[in-house]
Structure 1
Amino acid sequence: MLVAAAAYYDSKVSSQEAAFAKAEGASFEVRKIFSEAISKVGDAKSRWEHSRPSRDSVEKDLLNLFQNDKRFLGAGAVFETNLFDGKDSSFIGRKGSNSKGRFVPYFHRSIKNPDEISLEESVYYDNTDESGNYYQIPKATLRDYVGEPYFYPLEGVNVFMISLIRPIIRQGRFIGIVGLDLKLSDLEEELFSKRPFGGGHLALISPGGKYAVHGADTLRQGKDAGTPELKDSIQRSLSSGQPFAYLVEGGNSYIFPFGMGTYGKNWAIEVYVPDSYLWNDLGPIILRCLFITFALLPICLYFLDRFFCKYVVDGLSAATTFADSLGAGNYSAQIPIRNFQDEIHHLFVTLENMKEKLLAAIDQQIRSEKILRESAEIYSRNEIIRLQKEELEVALGELKTAQETLLRNERLTAIGRISGAVSHQINNPLGAIGASRENISFYVKRITVLLPFLFEYLSRASDPEREFFNIALKKTLENHKEQIGKKFRETRHSIEAFLKQEDIDNAGDKAAVVAELGFVDCPEFILQLCRCSEWDRISEFLMAVRGLEISEEVIHRSTDRMYKIVSALETYSGIAKEDKERWVKVSDTMEVVLGVYEGAGGNRVTVERNYVSEATLRCVPEDLVRLWTQVVDNAYQAMSGEGKLKVSIYDAESKVICEVEDSGSGIPKNIREKVGEVLSSGKSEGEGAGIGLAVAASISKKYGGSWDWESKPGCTIFRFSFPKSE
């Protein structure tokens, strides 16, 4: 059975190799024909793209493509409307052009007499179904196209053929196509008419899974290559480029995909091998295998017997002797030498490993006895170490508690200073709001008193007077600027001079009112109101309206100031409660601290920001807020709450640098060597615990950073650097 199976397998492989050879030969010839066609078409394409030939010249080129090569049925070209020579209207009715003069020539051999060549108009090129693919696909993709086999009408007969098309692109623009047609019945007669393997056949399958040529059954041309399931398997083989085989009635069919030039889709050669070819070779192969088997069997048995006696029996005897030596306590016995890495050699190795384990167990027993003798001494030493460890843990706990107390006191001191300053800064806008409220009450009462007069005045005033009043009221409401000091006096004198020039009574008083209303000059509508006999009460009403506007603006600025202070405190408080690491922008944490101190410090400390870096750091946000709080608080105290604070954040190679510079008196020389040490403070006794900069330094070190400083009277800089985060 094994011999028969081996013989069948050999015969099967032989038939597959023969089928592959046939497929290789057929695919080579097909590729050769297609390559020649693409090359010829390429020559014409190149000439037409780089020159502007006449229609007669193009027709001559088309004839030359196939006239002397009877393997090709015809050649044609289709050009876009008015893109060949721009003269389509001049060629209406000319042979080879359509009814509008579009140049679409097609030369082909006569179906009845191949030696005769006819010129016709190309058809189907504007169709959007499969019949128009030979033109529409190259136009859309601008790539070579080897189309699916299709029927094309010639001389009243539907001819089954393949078109090999190349697009014509002139100056980056598609203008048409040129192609050669191959009549598939001629291809069948030339390459596929012979029947290989006795009753076998060859067939050409298109990328769409249809028979282009079938050597055994012409009626199957253009039909699907099998059932829908088989067609799907064939198309998967075409897509992957891997051969595919399947059983058919009376034999086996083999599908061998192959590619053609730059065209992206595979075609395939189908080779059908009948079972009769397989069985014709099977009998001689079986007889040959039986003869070889019975001739070699006695020789194999003889050598097997000699090998077993020499290597197996002798090896087992040596292994038994080695095991007996180990059993007798002879641990110096050596493993026998064996030249083969076989099972007996592995047995020797196992016995040797067993010997090593026995020696190790004996040695371990000796060591255990020694360890037991020393265990009492080790126990007493461990007890001493345990007691010392407990004492150290208690001391460490007390030290941590003291450190936390100092940190809390330092922070509470800073918060106390901030709270007092914030309280003062909030009282200022509250006072302004109270004063503005009283002003609003006064102005509302005055407006209420003046309204009856105003209604009466407007009802009897002329239209120009009412218009002047409305404009004055509108401009007064729109003008939010206040003029004070020297600017106000200059404006008043300028308006007074103008009013005197216009012969206005009480020019000085009226000029003062106009300037108070926010006008920088005296426009026409104000001038006319100054001439009015009711100027005093009109100006009083306008002044009351402007007073309301100014009071509202004061209240707005004051509430905005308080909002910023409270918002900064809320942000500071929110970040200070975070205890988990996250990505934060370094400048954002600095801004939180500056916002609180700016709100608390009022306008006496000028803060200059220079944020160049957008760097982020993965950290606990509270840590950076604590760091900046210590540094900024020290700076404010050094400046006694008045001066200039400059904060810079910038990148330097692989690091982000944060600098805090103040205009204080500088660090005293007698403590400069101890800056950053715990319990070292440059403040007056009772004002600092001496741990602020030590805390800042430890936070910087926690995130892989470093710090330094420089100081002189009027300029102290603390500089912190952190590695950039990726």
Structure 2
Amino acid sequence: MTDTGTDTGEITLEPCEPGKLTNDQLRTLFLFEKLTDEQLTWIRDHGCTMRAKAGSYVLREGDPAEKFFILLSGTIQLTRMVGQDEVETNRTEQRGVYMGATNAYLRDDGVQQQYMGSMRALDESEFFVMEAADFGHMMREWFPMAVHLLEGLAMGMRNSQAAVGERQRLTALGALTAGLMHELNNPAAAASRATGSLRQRVAGMRHKLGMLAAGKVDPARLDALVELQEEVIERAAKAPVLSAMQTSDLEDELGEWMDEHHITGGWDIAPVFAQGGLDVECLTEIERKVGAPELLDQAVHWLGYALETEQLMSDIEDATSRVSSLVTAAKQYSQMDRAAHQWIDVHSGLDSTLVMLTHKIGDGITVVKDYDRSLPQIPAHPAELNQVWTNLIDNAVQAMQGVGTLTIKTYLVGNQLVVSIGDSGPGVPEELRKRVFEPFFTTKPVGEGTGLGLDISYRIVVNRHGGDIKLQSEPGDTRFLVRLPLSEPSSA
């Protein structure tokens, strides 16, 4: 390591000086206070002291973990890269704190270990330094049982996290599938019911048309009646939406008119005409064009069947469109037949996730979407981001316990796109906010949470996309802020 100047981002350590510390001086470091003189001599012979100038880096995140550092004097700053930002994780001047190749004693699995963070000297500092190979050899030879326990702990946590994470994904998939099937069942059942009713109405139309023909209706009058039917259907298609009170008043007016004109089952037909936006003036026009009073009853019923037929076909169209949109949302959510990494509009993933979680959100939660549609596309792994949206929205829904407001907002801050997912729940206590992204930490009852949802979300956003995710919370206003870069991270 060479001195290339200070505060430039380069490693700037002075040459290592071996044999500078005595055994008694080494014993003052809490890591070595219980070691024998023989062990301290070995450490002294296999280590050296280094000095770092104020503002210089001692090690950099991502570089090969080749050395183990112990602070002798000075103040150091530990940082981690979060997207394009260097975030401070600790600052200390405690003598004996250590950093660097802390996992050098683990079994060599063929993967070169790297520094997990960066360390910078804030003022002139001095370190006792050991090569990673020497530190690992020392740990394995002197503390074999401890090394086995630590290795087992590390491997156990990795395996447990992988197993629980897989189970969580399967559980989430099962819940999403159940919700999707429920959402698909509703329009499918509606289409089935509408089809059965439509068959009956078409049969009724044929019957009434036969009765009209049997009544020896003048051809010109029958043509006028068919033309009136088209006008009625066109008028129904453009009918304004009425309130419940307006609809009830119109049904009463139509029913009274049909009673006065001896229309059989008039009060059953009146709601159909009211839904079609027809009024008493329209019924009077129908009476005028039919001409023969004895045919008015058949003509009104025939037009009623025509209106019902149109309404039922609209219901079927709406139901099948709903099924199609659900299938499209499911494909967008799973990113079926799409590249794993692509430039995306983040709003499509948010919308498809909301569709997939409609059943879980329920009717008691109001969804507010405050999107900035002018935002540019971003480079991302869309299926993984959808997993993030699922975890955050699901947490928000559970926090509100079925009642509240879910707010999803997108906006731009500098060179980052921000997705804010907020809820009106009770909030997260201050002492728990710093722990929400820890693996296996959960505030949910036993069996209801694995503690991996936010950990997985953090790793997807930070490690996979070079972004950042933070929690802001107070009673009635909890927000997860996900920041994603507008361009490809330099490590991509």
TM-score, normalized by length of structure 2? 0.60
Contact 2:379–2:486 (CA<8 Å) still a contact in 1?
no
| CA pair 540-619 structure 1, distance change in 2 beyond 3 A | closer
Whole-angstrom distance in 2 between the partners of 1:449 and 1:462: 18
- Runs of 5+ unmatched residues, structure 1: 1-373
The residue that corresponds to 1:715 in the other structure is 477
Q: Secondary structure at the match of 2:294?
A: coil
Deviation at 1:603, TM superposition (A): 4.9
| CA pair 592-438 structure 1, distance change in 2 beyond 3 A | closer
The residue that corresponds to 2:486 in the other structure is 724
Which of 235, 238, 249 does residue 490 from structure 1 map onto?
A: 249
The residue that corresponds to 1:472 in the other structure is 228
Deviation at 1:634, TM superposition (A): 1.0
The residue that corresponds to 1:410 in the other structure is 168
Q: In structure 2, give the amino acid aligned to 1:516.
A: V
Deviation at 1:722, TM superposition (A): 2.8
Q: Which deviations, in whole Å up to 9, do the C-alpha atoms of 1:191-231 show, x marking residues without a partner? A: xxxxxxxxxxxxxxxxxxxxxxxxxxxxxxxxxxxxxxxxx
The structure in which a higher percent of residues are helix is 1
Q: Which deviations, in whole Å up to 9, do the C-alpha atoms of 1:469-492 show, x marking residues without a partner? A: 123311233324586732222223
Deviation at 1:653, TM superposition (A): 2.3
Contact 1:425–1:602 (CA<8 Å) still a contact in 2?
no
Q: Which deviations, in whole Å up to 9, do the C-alpha atoms of 1:541-577 show, x marking residues without a partner? A: 2222222222222121112222222221222222698
Deviation at 1:588, TM superposition (A): 3.3
Q: In structure 1, give the amino acid aligned to 2:420.
A: E
Whole-angstrom distance in 2 between the partners of 1:507 and 1:698: 71
Whole-angstrom distance in 2 between the partners of 1:393 and 1:416: 34
Higher relative contact order (CA 8 A, sep 6+): 2
- The answer to whether residue 319 in structure 2 is matched with residue 558 in structure 1 is yes
| CA pair 539-658 structure 1, distance change in 2 beyond 3 A | same
Whole-angstrom distance in 2 between the partners of 1:381 and 1:415: 45
The residue that corresponds to 1:16 in the other structure is none
Whole-angstrom distance in 1 between the partners of 2:134 and 2:301: 102
Q: In structure 2, give the amino acid aligned to 1:692.
A: G
Which of 258, 267, 272 does residue 516 from structure 1 map onto?
A: 272
Contact 1:645–1:660 (CA<8 Å) still a contact in 2?
yes
Deviation at 1:647, TM superposition (A): 1.0
Contact 1:576–1:622 (CA<8 Å) still a contact in 2?
no
User: Superposed, which structure 2 residues align to 1:65-464 within 5 Å?
Assistant: 396-457=154-215, 459-461=216-218, 463=220
| CA pair 542-505 structure 1, distance change in 2 beyond 3 A | closer
Contact 2:332–2:352 (CA<8 Å) still a contact in 1?
yes
Q: Secondary structure at the match of 2:357?
A: helix
Q: Which deviations, in whole Å up to 9, do the C-alpha atoms of 1:78-135 show, x marking residues without a partner? A: xxxxxxxxxxxxxxxxxxxxxxxxxxxxxxxxxxxxxxxxxxxxxxxxxxxxxxxxxx
Q: Secondary structure at the match of 2:335?
A: helix
| CA pair 530-576 structure 1, distance change in 2 beyond 3 A | same
Deviation at 1:504, TM superposition (A): 5.4
Q: In structure 1, give the amino acid aligned to 2:247.
A: F
The residue that corresponds to 2:397 in the other structure is 636
Q: In structure 2, give the amino acid aligned to 1:535.
A: L
| CA pair 604-431 structure 1, distance change in 2 beyond 3 A | farther
Which of 410, 435, 439 does residue 678 from structure 1 map onto?
A: 439
Q: In structure 1, give the amino acid aligned to 2:355.
A: G
| CA pair 558-602 structure 1, distance change in 2 beyond 3 A | farther
Deviation at 1:721, TM superposition (A): 1.8
Identical columns (%): 23
| CA pair 530-639 structure 1, distance change in 2 beyond 3 A | farther
The residue that corresponds to 2:350 in the other structure is 590
Deviation at 1:630, TM superposition (A): 1.2
Task: Give RMSD over aligned pairs.
Answer: 3.8
Whole-angstrom distance in 2 between the partners of 1:668 and 1:531: 79
Deviation at 1:670, TM superposition (A): 6.3
Which of 626, 629, 632 does residue 387 from structure 2 map onto?
A: 626
Deviation at 1:539, TM superposition (A): 1.7
Contact 1:662–1:717 (CA<8 Å) still a contact in 2?
yes
User: Superposed, which structure 2 residues align to 1:601-616 within 5 Å?
Assistant: 601=361, 603-612=363-372, 613-616=374-377
Which of 637, 651, 654 does residue 415 from structure 2 map onto?
A: 654
Contact 1:477–1:546 (CA<8 Å) still a contact in 2?
yes
- The answer to whether residue 453 in structure 2 is matched with residue 697 in structure 1 is no
Contact 1:639–1:664 (CA<8 Å) still a contact in 2?
yes
Q: In structure 2, give the amino acid aligned to 1:460.
A: V
Q: Which deviations, in whole Å up to 9, do the C-alpha atoms of 1:351-381 show, x marking residues without a partner? A: xxxxxxxxxxxxxxxxxxxxxxx9xxx9999
Contact 2:272–2:308 (CA<8 Å) still a contact in 1?
no
The residue that corresponds to 1:101 in the other structure is none
- The answer to whether residue 330 in structure 2 is matched with residue 569 in structure 1 is yes
Which of 622, 637, 645 does residue 406 from structure 2 map onto?
A: 645
Q: Secondary structure at the match of 2:281?
A: coil
| CA pair 515-700 structure 1, distance change in 2 beyond 3 A | closer
Q: In structure 1, give the amino acid aligned to 2:233.
A: L
Deviation at 1:530, TM superposition (A): 8.2
Deviation at 1:688, TM superposition (A): 0.3
Contact 1:681–1:688 (CA<8 Å) still a contact in 2?
yes
Q: Secondary structure at the match of 1:609?
A: strand
| CA pair 587-439 structure 1, distance change in 2 beyond 3 A | closer
| CA pair 483-508 structure 1, distance change in 2 beyond 3 A | farther
Contact 1:577–1:622 (CA<8 Å) still a contact in 2?
no
| CA pair 384-470 structure 1, distance change in 2 beyond 3 A | same
The residue that corresponds to 1:280 in the other structure is none
Q: In structure 2, give the amino acid aligned to 1:716.
A: T
TM-score, normalized by length of structure 1? 0.42
| CA pair 490-418 structure 1, distance change in 2 beyond 3 A | same
Whole-angstrom distance in 1 between the partners of 2:395 and 2:136: 49
Q: In structure 1, give the amino acid aligned to 2:302.
A: F
Whole-angstrom distance in 2 between the partners of 1:512 and 1:543: 10
Larger radius of gyration: 1
| CA pair 665-513 structure 1, distance change in 2 beyond 3 A | same
Which range moved further: 668-677 or 471-480?
668-677
| CA pair 432-483 structure 1, distance change in 2 beyond 3 A | farther
Contact 1:678–1:694 (CA<8 Å) still a contact in 2?
yes
Whole-angstrom distance in 2 between the partners of 1:455 and 1:495: 26
Which range moved further: 680-689 or 447-456?
447-456
Q: Secondary structure at the match of 1:560?
A: helix
Deviation at 1:467, TM superposition (A): 4.5
Contact 1:635–1:664 (CA<8 Å) still a contact in 2?
yes
Q: In structure 1, give the amino acid aligned to 2:250.
A: T
Contact 2:264–2:297 (CA<8 Å) still a contact in 1?
no
Deviation at 1:589, TM superposition (A): 3.1
